[in-house]
Amino acid sequence: MFGQLSVAKLRALGRQAHALQVQSGGVVARRGERAPGLMAVASGLVALSLKTGEHEKVLRLVGPGESFAEAMLFLDQPMSLDATALAETLVVVVPAEPLLALIGSDGAFALGMLRSLSRRLQELVMDYEATTQHGALERLAAYLESLAAPGLEPATASLPASKTVIAARLGFTKETLSRLLRHLADQGIIRRAHRNVILLDRSRLSAAARGARSA
């Protein structure tokens, strides 16, 4: 998104931004509070989650180079999700006023922002479809495929967060995640290596993501 800006505009925007250092487990932003601006993750990882009673649904993991809270700025509404650091995280906060002025004056930047938000909406629709129409094994297989570079076998999928967070992201429990990973490993499709998962047989993993029961 910001890659389309000229050096001069990027520097001008940077002068009005400020950095926010958050320790692992710390709160970046709370649901119901006003966002201080667009938040771009420079390093670390942020979970955007929604809590209902004792249950928590992780809707998105935001890593380096990604941003969040844009919609809240445009709508001038409080945060609808909680944002929590999952590692030591550096967030760059861009205030709303200069950002909105830039959108009004730079058509290419505005188009880039629209594309970014449209992709995110599409991802939410796909997540909803996966949660409501696909089984747990299908969701996990598709997720592992998305983490690895295409065309490689074996390939390494680096898990970006803990089992608890990933399970919440995929819509099931940590115990279910462990059981499904063991199942895929027993079938010779993957191999666990600490925080990495080695994809040994991507054709069978893809079949599992499509709902084939041979896995």
**Contact status, residue 116 vs residue 65, Cβ threshold 8 Å:** no
DSSP string, 6-38: -HHHHHHHHHH-EEEEE-TT-EEE-TTSPP-SE
> Are 16 and 46 members of one domain?
yes
Q: Residue 121 has what pLDDT?
A: 79
| Position 108 in a domain | yes
Assess whether pLDDT exceeds 60 at residue 214. Answer: no
| Position 214 in a domain | no
In CATH, what number is assigned to the domain containing residue 153?
1.10.10.10
In CATH, what number is assigned to the domain containing residue 93?
2.60.120.10
The band of 42, judged by pLDDT with boundaries at 50, 70 and 90, is very high
For residue range 118-163, what is the model confidence (pLDDT) as tens digits? 887 777 777 766 666 668 899 899 999 988 888 888 899 998 888 8
Q: Residue 132 has what pLDDT?
A: 63
- Mean pLDDT, range 95-116, rounded to an integer: 84
Q: Which of 16-20, 27-31, 54-58 shows the lowest mean pLDDT across its residues? A: 54-58
**In which domain, by residue range, is 69 found?**
2-132
Q: Which residue has the higher pLDDT, 8 or 84?
A: 84
Q: Residue 212 has what pLDDT?
A: 58
Name the domain count of the chain: 2
- Spell out the residues 6+ positions from residue 110 whose beta carbon is closer than 8 angstroms to its own: 103, 104
Q: Residue 163 has what pLDDT?
A: 86
| Position 215 in a domain | no
> Are 41 and 127 members of one domain?
yes
* Average pLDDT of every residue of the chain: 85
- Looking up tokens 């940590």 gives 174
- Mean pLDDT, range 82-90, rounded to an integer: 94
- Among the candidates 132, 148, 182, a domain finishes at 132
- Among the candidates 79, 113, 132, a domain finishes at 132
d(CA 68, CA 37): 9
- Among the candidates 112, 132, 152, a domain finishes at 132
Q: Which residue from 69, 66, 73 is spatially nearest to 102, judged by alpha carbons?
A: 73
Q: Which of 76-90, 108-122, 181-195 shows the lowest mean pLDDT across its residues? A: 108-122
Assess whether pLDDT exceeds 50 at residue 31. Answer: yes
> Are 123 and 144 members of one domain?
no
Assess whether pLDDT exceeds 80 at residue 68. Answer: yes
Q: Which of 34-43, 102-111, 184-193 shows the lowest mean pLDDT across its residues? A: 102-111
> Are 156 and 55 members of one domain?
no
DSSP string, 119-150: HHHHHHHHHHHHHHHS-HHHHHHHHHHHHS-T
| Position 67 in a domain | yes
> Are 104 and 167 members of one domain?
no
- Mean pLDDT, range 190-211, rounded to an integer: 89
Q: Which residue has the higher pLDDT, 41 or 52?
A: 41
